[in-house]
């Protein structure tokens, strides 16, 4: 049986470090780090994530602001809000929860965020820095950054020469994850819906990252014995065994099967999810330090 990678524990450690840094900033006479979280519309999963981000920000001692906008909000109004937040010196991090309603151009909104407040790491400036290895000055997207920390906890800092397969090519997870693994000297393959013989490719992975949003897609026999498996998926599926209308959360990996083969694996929930939020707090405290000079 494999080692279960405890994302909750590592996330709690990151958050303790953030709290200590908040205290240090305060001791030096600086204002608390400010995080603005913007949500447009009523997507239930997004509401849960955003509530969790705002709650954790408060717990860290941040100045935490949440803007909840109706699904009908115009792109112009949203861009106006971003402009105000960019100009607000009490705000060090701006996060616009994705997905946005269809009538809004997400790309345009994301690129409107000042790169120095882009704690999601989605602006061209931050994506470009990550892609060219300028990691020291980049904000790295939170889910891949958190996944990387978990991988290093399990395998140590030296990932040189390991085969890494990332399933999924999103801008939020797949692509930045691949960049981080490449920067760590892994041999990286990005797999996606057009990839041929995905099970065979996955079996070559010493590090297998699943970020596709398909419940339990990665089966036990896709996993190389001893591999580190990072399950980024958070999927809500029907759970009739718990009663009529009940649901449960599962990842993109068939957990029980994969856990019997893997060397280490993240559970869902309690794996990558808490790390995403912890890394958002870490990026925001870094932004506040940079602003403090
Ligand atoms: N939607 C799903 N994941 C994320 C994320 O990391 N950041 C934002 N802004 N939206 C998301």
At residue 1, the pLDDT reads 75
Q: Which of 70, 96, 114 is the last residue of a domain?
A: 114
Q: Are residues 269 and 158 in the same domain?
A: yes
Closest ligand 1 atom number to CA of residue 143: 6
Q: Which residues of the chain have pLDDT under 70?
A: none
Best residue among 52, 67, 98 to mutate for probing ligand 1, ranked by most atoms within 8 Å of CB: 98
Q: Are residues 110 and 187 in the same domain?
A: no
**CA–CA distance, 185 with 239 (Å, rounded to integer):** 41
| pLDDT tens, position by position, 86-111 | 999 999 999 999 999 999 999 999 99
* Residue 177 within a domain: yes
* Residue 284 within a domain: no
* Residue 291 within a domain: no
DSSP string, the chain: -PEE--HHHHHHHHHHHHHHHHHHHHHTTPPPPEEEEEEES--HHHHHHHHHHHHHHHHTT-EEEEEEE-TT--HHHHHHHHHHHHH-TT--EEEE-SSPPTTS-HHHHHHHS-GGG-TT--SHHHHHHHHTT-GGGPPPPHHHHHHHHHHHHHH-S--TT-EEEEE---TTTHHHHHHHHHHTT-EEEEE-TT-SSHHHHHTT-SEEEE-S--TT-B-GGGSPTT-EEEE---EEEE-GGG-TT-EEEE-SB-HHHHHTT-SEE--SSSSHHHHHHHHHHHHHHHHHHHHH-
Closest ligand 1 atom number to CA of residue 142: 6
Q: Are residues 164 and 262 in the same domain?
A: yes
Q: Are residues 156 and 93 in the same domain?
A: no
Q: Are residues 150 and 253 in the same domain?
A: yes
Q: Are residues 260 and 219 in the same domain?
A: yes
Q: Are residues 50 and 165 in the same domain?
A: no
CA of 98 to the centre of ligand 1 (A): 5
Count how many domains the chain has: 2
Q: Is 120 a catalytic residue?
A: yes
| pLDDT tens, position by position, 107-159 | 999 999 999 999 999 999 999 999 999 999 999 999 999 999 999 999 999 99
Q: Are residues 187 and 235 in the same domain?
A: yes
pTM tops 0.95, yes or no: yes
> Which CATH number is 101's domain given?
3.40.50.10860
> Which CATH number is 236's domain given?
3.40.50.720
DSSP string, 62-81: -EEEEEEE-TT--HHHHHHH
Q: Are residues 238 and 148 in the same domain?
A: yes
Q: Are residues 89 and 179 in the same domain?
A: no
Q: Is 108 a catalytic residue?
A: no
* Residue 150 within a domain: yes
Indicate the annotated binding residues for NADP(+): 168-170, 234
Q: Are residues 233 and 148 in the same domain?
A: yes
* Residue 130 within a domain: no
Range of the domain at 219: 142-274
Best residue among 96, 172, 176 to mutate for probing ligand 1, ranked by most atoms within 8 Å of CB: 172
* Residue 131 within a domain: no
* Residue 133 within a domain: no
* Residue 87 within a domain: yes
Determine the Cα angle at 258 with ends 159 and 204, to 5°: 45
Q: Are residues 228 and 148 in the same domain?
A: yes
Exactly one of 117, 118, 120, 252 is catalytic; which is it? 120
């Amino acid at each position: 049986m494999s080692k279960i990678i405890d994302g909750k524990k590592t996330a709690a450690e990151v958050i303790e470090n953030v709290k200590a840094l908040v205290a240090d900033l305060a001791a030096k006479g600086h204002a608390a780090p400010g995080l603005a979280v913007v949500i447009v519309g009523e997507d239930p999963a997004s509401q849960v994530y955003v509530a969790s981000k705002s709650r954790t920000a408060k717990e860290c001692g941040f100045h935490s602001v949440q803007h909840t906008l109706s699904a009908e909000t115009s792109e112009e109004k949203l861009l106006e809000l971003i402009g105000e937040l960019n100009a607000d010196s009490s705000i060090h991090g701006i996060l616009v929860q994705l997905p946005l309603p269809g009538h809004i151009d997400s790309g345009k909104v994301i690129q409107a965020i000042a790169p120095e407040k882009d704690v999601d790491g989605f602006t061209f400036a931050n994506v470009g820095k990550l892609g060219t290895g300028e990691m020291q000055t980049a904000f790295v997207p939170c889910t891949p950054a958190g996944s990387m920390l978990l991988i290093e906890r399990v395998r140590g800092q030296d990932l040189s020469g390991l085969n890494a397969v990332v399933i999924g090519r999103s801008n939020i997870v797949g692509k930045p994850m691949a960049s981080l693994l490449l920067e760590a000297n892994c041999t990286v393959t990005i797999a996606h819906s057009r990839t041929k013989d995905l099970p065979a490719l996955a079996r070559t992975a010493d590090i297998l990252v699943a970020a596709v949003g398909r419940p339990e897609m990665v089966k036990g026999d896709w996993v190389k014995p001893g591999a580190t498996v990072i399950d980024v998926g958070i999927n809500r599926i029907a759970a009739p065994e718990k009663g009529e209308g009940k649901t449960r959360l599962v990842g993109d990996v068939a957990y029980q099967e994969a856990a019997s083969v893997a060397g280490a694996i993240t559970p869902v929930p309690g794996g990558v999810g808490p790390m995403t939020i912890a890394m958002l707090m870490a990026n925001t405290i870094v932004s506040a330090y940079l602003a403090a000079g």
